[in-house]
Amino acid sequence: MTRKELIHQIFSKQSFLCVGLDTDIKKIPQHLLTEDDPMFSFNKQIIDATAPYCVAYKPNLAFYESLGVKGIQAFEHTVNYLKKYYPTHFIIADAKRGDIGNTSAMYARTFFEEYDVDSLTVAPYMGEDSIKPFLGYDGHWVILLALTSNKGSQDFQLTADDNGERLFERVLRISQQWGNDENMMYVVGATQGRMFEDIRRMAPTHFLLVPGVGAQGGSLQEVCRYGMTEECGLLVNSSRGIIYAGNDENFAEVAAQKAKELQAEMAQELKKYCKA
Amino acid sequence: MTRKELIHQIFSKQSFLCVGLDTDIKKIPQHLLTEDDPMFSFNKQIIDATAPYCVAYKPNLAFYESLGVKGIQAFEHTVNYLKKYYPTHFIIADAKRGDIGNTSAMYARTFFEEYDVDSLTVAPYMGEDSIKPFLGYDGHWVILLALTSNKGSQDFQLTADDNGERLFERVLRISQQWGNDENMMYVVGATQGRMFEDIRRMAPTHFLLVPGVGAQGGSLQEVCRYGMTEECGLLVNSSRGIIYAGNDENFAEVAAQKAKELQAEMAQELKKYCKA
C-alpha cells in the first residue's frame, strides 16, 4: 500500500487504529479450542468485527511461532484472509527482524514476496546492509525500531554520543539516508510522551507506528498532541486492550466496541490537528 | 548444555567449529529436490558428515521461514534429529529476536521449551526487559549481538558516548548486570580483527560466537590471537564455506573435508593458547 492510499484510508475511516493480533492460544476463549485452527478462527472473528474501525492489522510473529507449524499456518491463513476480504487494510508483520545483508534479503523475500504483507518491523542494530534489502519493494515498508515503549528502551536508545545525539536520533538521521517517508516508518512507543516532539524535529513527515496505548499505559491524546502531522502520520496500535477485552462467546462484539471507542477518540484528534 | 559441558566437548574434539545451517532451497543440490523434505535431507547429510569435526550447529531461521510451513517443518526435523542422534552438539537458533517483555517471554518459551535448543541469538536494541526472559532457563543461553561481522556494524555499534564508551561496549557492560558467562554469549564478527582485544577487556571469560570466517573474509588465526581464552571461549561459525563447498551428489563428503580442515586449524590454535 502506498503512502497516499494509507492516508486516504485514514481520513475516509476517521481512524488511524492498528489492531494488534497478539493471538495467544492460552488466552483465547475456550470454545474456540475445538476448531481446526483456533488462532485463525479467533483472528477471523476479531477482524470481521473490528475492520470498520481500524486501518491496519499487526500480527505479532512471536505468538504464531510459539505453535510451530500450526502457528505459521494460522499466520498464513490470517494474512490470506486479510488480503482477500480486506485489501484496503494495511498489514504489519511484527517480527523485529534484521541480519547481515544476504539474510535480510531472505527475510524481505519471505515477507514481501511470499506473504506479500505491506510492512515488517526491523531492528536497526546491524545498520545499513541489514535494512536496505527491505527497501527495494514498491508499496512495501520497513518499520524501524526507534524509541520503543518498554522500560528497556532506556538502556541503549537514549545514550547520547559526544555531540549530544541520542542513539534513537542517530537511527532516525542515518536511516533517512537509506529510505524515505514512502517506504520507511518508525516505531515510537506511546509511553514516550513529549519525546514525540524530538522525533518530529528529525522525522517531520514519516509515519510512526505507536504501540503502548492501553495495556502499557500510553495516552492517545498526548501522542497526538506531540506526534500528529497534518497528514496524520500515526498508526496507533492496541493489542491486548481490544482483542482480550471480552473472553466468552461475545468476545468479537466486545472487541468491536473497544475499537469503536478508540476510533471515536481518534476522529476527535484528527479534527483537532489535521486539515483534510 | 552447561558451560562446563561445552568446554569439555571443545577439548575432547579439539574443535570449536560451529556449522551454520543456512540451508537455501535454491542452493542445495538438485537431486535432493525430489525428496519429501529437501532441506532436512540436505541438513541430515551435512550433519552426519561434519559431526566429528564440530561442536555446534546453527540453523539460520531466515532460510527456514522463507518456505513457510514446509520450512518450519524442516527446522523442527533438523532440531529433533540433532537432539536424538547428536545430543552432545550445541544448537544455536540464529533468529536475532528481541521484543518487549511479554513477547520475548513468548519467544523464550518457543525456543527453550518447545524446541529446547541450547541457545538463541538476540538483538540488544530494546534493552533489559527484552533480554531477561531468556535468562531464566538452566543450561540455555542468550547470544547477544555485540559487534557484528557486516559493514553496517559501523553505523550504530561503534558510536561512542560522551565518556568514549562505544555502543557495543555499553552492550557488553550493561548486559553483564543481567546475565553471566554461564547463560550469555556475545556475537562478535571475525572481520573485526584487533577489536577482539577490546571485547576481551570487557568480557574476559564469556564465550563469543564468531561468524564471518570464510565467505565474509575473517581470519581464524587473527580471531584466536586476540579473542581466545584459556578455556577457548570461542565458537567460530562457518556456513556457506562448508555447506555449499560441493554441489553434486558428493556434497556431504566435500563439506566434511572443509570442516575437517577447519578443525585441524582449530586444534593448532587450541595448542597455542590453551592449557587444557
Residue in B96, B132, B258, B272 annotated catalytic? B96
Residue type at position B198: D
Which residue in chain B has the smallest CA separation from A132? B152
Domains of chain B: 3-273 (3.20.20.70)
Chain A CB contacts of B143 below 8 Å: none
CB of B167 less than 8 A from some CB of A? yes
Contact B269, B221 (CB under 8 A): yes
- How far apart CA A177 and CA A155 sit, in angstroms, is 25
CB of A241 less than 8 A from some CB of B? no
Nearest to B66 among A22, A109, A164 (CB): A109
* DSSP per-residue letters across B72-111: HHHHHHHHHHHHHH-TTSEEEEEEEE--SHHHHHHHHIII
Cβ atoms within 10 Å of A182's Cβ, excluding its own: 15
- Which pLDDT belongs to residue A276? 60
Cβ atoms within 10 Å of A168's Cβ, excluding its own: 27
Mean pLDDT of B40-66: 97
Contact B15, B40 (CB under 8 A): no
**Which residue of B37, B66, B100, B178 is the best one to mutate when testing the A interface, meaning the one whose CB has the most A CBs within 10 A?**
B100
Contact B50, B44 (CB under 8 A): no
Cα distances from A4 to residues A26, A139, A270, in angstroms, run 39, 10, 17
**Which residue of B69, B126, B192 is the best one to mutate when testing the A interface, meaning the one whose CB has the most A CBs within 10 A?**
B126
The 10s digit of each residue's pLDDT in A2-50 is 999 999 999 999 999 999 999 999 999 999 999 999 999 999 999 999 9
DSSP reduced 3-state for B22:
coil
The 10s digit of each residue's pLDDT in A144-174 is 999 999 999 999 999 999 899 999 999 999 9
- How far apart CA B207 and CA B75 sit, in angstroms, is 25
- Which pLDDT belongs to residue B217? 83
Mean pLDDT of A228-251: 96
Q: Do A62 and B99 touch (CB under 8 A)?
A: yes
| A residues 201..220 contacting B (CB < 8 A) | 211, 216
| pLDDT higher than threshold 70 for residue A136 | yes
- Residue B14's nearest CA partner among B72, B65, B53 is B53
Q: If pLDDT is split at 50, 70 and 90, which confidence band does B215 have?
A: confident
- Residue A54's nearest CA partner among A29, A17, A21, A86 is A17
Cβ atoms within 10 Å of A192's Cβ, excluding its own: 24
Which residue in chain B has the smallest CA separation from A165? B161
B197 exposed, middle or buried (CB, 10 Å; 0-12, 13-18, 19+)? exposed
Q: If pLDDT is split at 50, 70 and 90, which confidence band does B212 have?
A: confident
Mean pLDDT of A182-205: 95
> Quick check: is B96 catalytic?
yes
Helix-strand-coil split of chain A, %, nearest 5: 50, 20, 35
- How far apart CA A7 and CA B123 sit, in angstroms, is 32
Nearest to A152 among B96, B107, B128 (CB): B128
- Residue B145's nearest CA partner among A67, A52, A115, A123 is A123
Which of the 8 DSSP states describes residue A161? B
Q: Do A125 and B156 touch (CB under 8 A)?
A: yes
| A residues 40..69 contacting B (CB < 8 A) | 60, 62-63, 65-66, 68-69
| pLDDT higher than threshold 90 for residue A217 | no
Give bridge partners of residue B238 from the DSSP assignment: B19
Contact B21, B78 (CB under 8 A): yes
ipTM above 0.90, yes or no: yes
- How far apart CA B242 and CA B46 sit, in angstroms, is 9
Task: List the beta strands (DSSP E) in B110-198.
Answer: 119-122, 141-147, 184-188
Rounded to the nearest 10 degrees, what angle do helices B38-50 and B69-85 cross at? Answer: 30
| pLDDT higher than threshold 90 for residue A254 | yes
The 10s digit of each residue's pLDDT in A183-192 is 999 999 999 8
| pLDDT higher than threshold 70 for residue A101 | yes
The 10s digit of each residue's pLDDT in B87-123 is 999 999 999 999 999 999 999 999 999 999 999 999 9
DSSP reduced 3-state for B165:
coil
Provide Rg for chain A, Cα atoms. Answer: 18
Q: Which three cell numbers stand for residue B69?
A: 510451513
Element (H, E) at A21: strand A17-21
Q: Do B155 and A162 touch (CB under 8 A)?
A: no
Task: List the beta strands (DSSP E) in chain B.
Answer: 17-21, 56-59, 90-97, 119-122, 141-147, 184-188, 208-210, 234-238
- How far apart CA B240 and CA B56 sit, in angstroms, is 15
Contact B258, B214 (CB under 8 A): no
The 10s digit of each residue's pLDDT in B230-242 is 999 999 999 999 9
**Single pTM value for the model:** 0.96
- How far apart CA B250 and CA A196 sit, in angstroms, is 58
The 10s digit of each residue's pLDDT in B128-160 is 999 999 999 999 999 999 999 999 999 999 999
Q: If pLDDT is split at 50, 70 and 90, which confidence band does B276 have?
A: low
